[in-house]
């Protein structure tokens, strides 16, 4: 992993069932592969977030899956169809990953790269505002 791990994220992942740990470790690796400058933190008391010039994604383990929240305002393209929820949400979307379900590493890494590029361009809110102004 290129980024510096946050021990609080380690603790969050370690408390999960093995299959959820595996998913979280994979997502964590992919977001750091997307850009080595991604930082880890905890927000909302205990939820792992990955940030670079704004939120990139967050993890939330539920009873039967792990949600990867993508903070992109719906801007990042989804040519591989990995988005599973939040398509009408104005701030972000989700990818739900299940124990025996697929995890398209290339598609998720590509999504992270698109979100990071948008963050570096001023963030999805500014991009949408500029677009609405015809810039």
The average pLDDT across 23-46 equals: 96
- Give the span between the Cα atoms of 10 and 95, in whole angstroms: 21
Q: What is the pLDDT of residue 101?
A: 94
Q: How confident is the model at residue 1 (pLDDT cuts 50, 70, 90)?
A: very low
Q: pLDDT of 35-59, one tens digit each?
A: 999 999 999 889 999 999 999 999 9
Q: What is the pLDDT of residue 2?
A: 53
The helix/strand/coil state of 20 is: helix
> Sheet holding 65-70: strands in order across?
39-43, 47-51, 55-61, 65-70, 93-98
Q: pLDDT of 92-115, one tens digit each?
A: 999 999 999 999 999 999 999 999
- Lowest model confidence (mean pLDDT) among 18-27, 72-81, 92-101, 110-119: 72-81
Q: How confident is the model at residue 127 (pLDDT cuts 50, 70, 90)?
A: confident
């Amino acid at each position: 992993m290129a980024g510096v791990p946050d021990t609080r994220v380690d603790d969050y992942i370690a408390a999960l069932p093995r299959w959820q740990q595996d998913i979280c470790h994979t997502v964590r690796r992919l977001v750091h592969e997307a850009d080595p400058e991604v930082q880890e933190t905890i927000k909302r008391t205990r939820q792992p977030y990955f940030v670079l010039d704004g939120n990139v994604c967050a993890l939330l383990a539920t009873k039967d899956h792990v949600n990867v929240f993508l903070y992109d305002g719906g801007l990042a393209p989804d040519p591989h169809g990995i988005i599973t929820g939040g398509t009408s949400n104005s701030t972000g979307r989700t990818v739900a990953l299940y124990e025996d379900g697929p995890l398209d590493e290339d598609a998720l890494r590509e999504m992270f790269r698109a979100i990071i590029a948008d963050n570096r361009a001023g963030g999805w809110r500014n991009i949408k505002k500029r677009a609405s102004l015809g810039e």
